[in-house]
Amino acid sequence: MFKNYSEFLKDFDTILEVLFNNQKKYIKCKKGCANCCKKGDYPLSQIEFAYITDAFIKLPPEIKQIVQKNIRELFVKKSKCKEERFEHQCPFLINNECCVYENRGIICRTFGVCYYDDKEKYVRLPDCVYDGLNYSEFFDKKENILKIKDVPMVNLRIDSVLNSELAQKYNVLCGEIRPMLDWIYSE
């Protein structure tokens, strides 16, 4: 079922590896950091959600129980949230590690590197820049300006990636894109 999507991800991860290597002087990502997993709404396409669900099904029962508990707690918090956008910790984050890492979404794969968003016409920075992490040494918070010249001129927005020539090469049909919790439970 996921053959084409898995092949697409291999090629996409190769592209990301080059981008991350080219930007490594600005990036402080390391195993266990997980800042990117602690606040977001984690947009996923239908294929990504199915891919993550496939990984979840294969988890050991004790890990599944933790994820299910995390999800239940998030729905309680979401029901009390007054904001239009509900940002939360990813339910698959356990002890600062992703329990479905190999099957993680595009948003998770691209987090950490800056890129030029050609639809919105600006440079997108990872939120951790404000925590003194990626790109922070080259970012002027007061002026909201990134002081580097080698911003990757590739658009890593989830919709752009899943409608790219690479996705078309593998005939990836992404389906609708929604926040993760909307896939898990829709009213």
Residue 144 has a pLDDT of: 85
Residue 186 has a pLDDT of: 62
Residue 57: CB partners within 8 Å, gap ≥ 6?
none
**Mode of pairing for the β-strands spanning 97-98 and 93-94:** antiparallel
Q: Which domain holds residue 108?
A: 3-184
Which regions of the chain are under pLDDT 50? 187
Task: Provide the residue type at 132 as one letter.
Answer: G
Residue 50 has a pLDDT of: 95
Strand segments, DSSP code E, in the chain are 43-45, 93-94, 97-98, 115-117, 122-124, 139-140, 145-146, 177-179
Q: What global pTM score does this model have?
A: 0.91
The number of distinct structural domains making up the chain is 1
Q: What is the pLDDT of residues 60-114, one digit of tens each?
A: 999 999 999 999 999 999 889 888 889 999 999 999 999 999 999 999 999 999 9
Residue 62 has a pLDDT of: 98
Q: Which of 23, 165, 167, 51 lies closest to 108, judged by CA?
A: 51
